[in-house]
A and B are shown apart, each in its own frame.
Chain A
Amino acid sequence: MIKFLDEYRDPELAQRLVEKIRNRAIRSLRLMEFCGGHTVAIMKYGLRRLLFPPVELLSGPGCPVCVTANVDIDKAIALAQKPEIILTTFGDMLKVPGSYSSLQKTRAEGGDIRIVYSAQDALEIAQGNPDKKVVFLGIGFETTAPTIAASILEAKSREIKNYYVLSLHKLCPPVIKALLDSGETRLDGIILPGHVSAIIGSYPYEFIPCDYGIGGVVAGFEPLDLLLAVEMLIAQIENQKPTIEIAYRRGVKTEGNKRAREIMEMVFDITEANWRGLGRVQASGLTLKREYQDFDAEASFVLEAAPAKEPEGCVCGEILRGIKTPLNCKLFGKQCTPEQPVGPCMVSSEGSCAAYYLYGGSNNGR
């Protein structure tokens, strides 16, 4: 038994909770799970199928690999093509098709691209290769950004001068707002990301009930955690009291992790960011502060790339906005599979297309 995991996977309890939710939902409800990690758990444990109807679960834009715009993937590829550069990245990015190539192809063509588990590993590679410039491909949300910020502070204090970050970090609350503003998807509630919230806490979501009249519940990643969040959202809907709650109190405090936020704020300024499917969203990204410009890959290298283009037929962008599911894509499971991905939603282990493909394909969707 693994502590803090297995207790939250009890199948009998889960079955009882599912029945309770199904009997209770007063009308058909559409809830969005923002986070890609939630999408995976929901598909893996068949929760989407178990709850529908009356509860429909829609995936949102919470997969950092998936929301990285092609223009930014092209930039990373352009960096990796430079002979003086070692590009370090989390493994998920390798196979993502950019406009014309991928990091994997670039590596096969001789680019020095190394998969790392942590920004710390990238820092060690920089220290071990003083004649090279080591760029870390900084993707991720508020969960990951503080770790990258910490690596930059460490590079500064250890005087590692050949370490750079290409900061493509993105922030969750502003994109939730953009999604709700677009009005494209009618939602009755949002299952809020667990580990993003471990950092930012639950206050930054207060605008959701205030401005849009729907509730949000922060959820953990085990099946019972997710069912609890759904149950809490339904209770809010029944009582007509939309609010922000936490169903994952063992991991998330209302105030979040202050130290992590301080470190993030020391290194990064908030800026506009470019999201796949959503375009440019104000104040939804992070860029290195002036004091840390020497570590900023964008400021340190000239990057020329041809205009970005999207993979033909791929509806990943619409899936990320919750207006389509992978089953609405003609290429799903045919031309597009995890082995031969057309779009990023099939590459990332957290992408909706990959989760649908892996855990049941067409039967699981409905």
Chain B
Amino acid sequence: MCLAVPSQVKSIEGPYAEVEIGGVSRNVSIILTPDVKVGDYILVHTGYAIGVVDEDEAQATIKLFNELSG
């Protein structure tokens, strides 16, 4: 139930961001993540962005996987 899908923000209008989820364009509320910018990936949960994906951390984790399994 706490599912949240990473989706890229295409545009922002007031408290809403337009994202594409599974090929369908959706407006999601960004009231919980006011600092989000166009191009960011947001975690979308039941129509609301609950967080912004940290791209540096995403890369760092992949590096860690490789180190650990190497």
**A143, A144, A231: the one within 8 Å of B68 (CB):** A231
Among B18-70, those with CB < 8 Å from A are 29, 31-34, 41, 43, 45-48, 50-51, 53-55, 57-58, 60-62, 64-66, 68-70
Q: Mark A58-73, 1 if CB is under 8 A from B, else 0.
A: 0000111100000000
Would you list 28 pairs from A and B whose C-beta atoms are within 8 A, ordered by A residue? A13-B65, A13-B69, A17-B69, A35-B2, A117-B46, A119-B47, A141-B1, A141-B2, A143-B4, A144-B1, A144-B45, A144-B46, A146-B32, A146-B50, A147-B29, A150-B48, A193-B2, A195-B3, A195-B43, A198-B51, A199-B50, A228-B68, A251-B43, A251-B53, A260-B32, A260-B33, A263-B32, A350-B1
User: Distance (Å) between the CB of B44 and the closest chain A CB?
Assistant: 10
- Identify which of A1-9, A126-134, A183-191, A302-310 touches chain B: A1-9
Closest 8 CB pairs of A and B: A118-B47, A16-B69, A249-B57, A250-B58, A143-B2, A4-B6, A195-B2, A260-B32
Q: Is A326 an interface residue (CB 8 A)?
A: no
A16 to B29, CA, bound (A): 40
Shortest CB distance A63–B (Å): 7
Q: When the two chains form their complex, are residues A20 and B68 in contact, meaning their CB atoms are under 8 A apart?
A: yes
Judge if A121 is at the interface, Cβ distance under 8 Å.
yes
Q: How far is the CA of A144 from the CA of B49 in the complex (A)?
A: 11
Cβ–Cβ contact A195 & B32, under 8 A: no
Cα(A350)–Cα(B1), bound, Å: 7
- Main DSSP-derived SS at the B contact region: mixed
B-contacting residues, A245-267, CB 8 Å: 247-253, 257, 259-260, 263
B69 touches A20 (CB 8 A): yes
Please give, as numbers and ranges, the residues of chain A lying within 8 Å of B45 by CB-CB distance: 143-144, 147, 195
**Residues of B with C-beta under 8 A to A348:** 1
Residues of B within 8 A of A193 (CB): 2
- In the complex the two chains form, what is the Cα distance from A121 to B2 in whole Å? 18
B69/A257 in contact, CB under 8 A: no
Residues of A within 8 A of B (CB): 3-5, 7-8, 10, 13, 16-17, 20, 35-37, 62-65, 90, 92, 117-121, 139-141, 143-144, 146-147, 150, 193-196, 198-199, 221, 224-225, 228, 231, 247-253, 257, 259-260, 263, 348, 350
| A257 with B2: CB separation less than 8 A | no
A92-B1, A141-B2, A228-B64 are known contacts. Are A150 and B29 too (CB-CB below 8 A)? yes
CB contact under 8 A between A63 and B1, given known A121-B47, A144-B46: yes
**How distant is B57 from chain A, measured CB to nearest CB, in Å?**
4
B41 nearest in chain A by CB position: A4
Residue pair A4, B53 in contact (C-beta under 8 Å): yes
Is A13 a contact of B66 with CB atoms below 8 Å?
yes
The chain B residue with its CB closest to the CB of A196 is B2
Chain B residues whose C-beta falls within 8 Å of the C-beta of A13 in the assembled complex: 65-66, 69
A47 to chain B, nearest CB (A): 15
Chain B residues near A251 (CB, 8 Å)? 4, 43, 51, 53-54
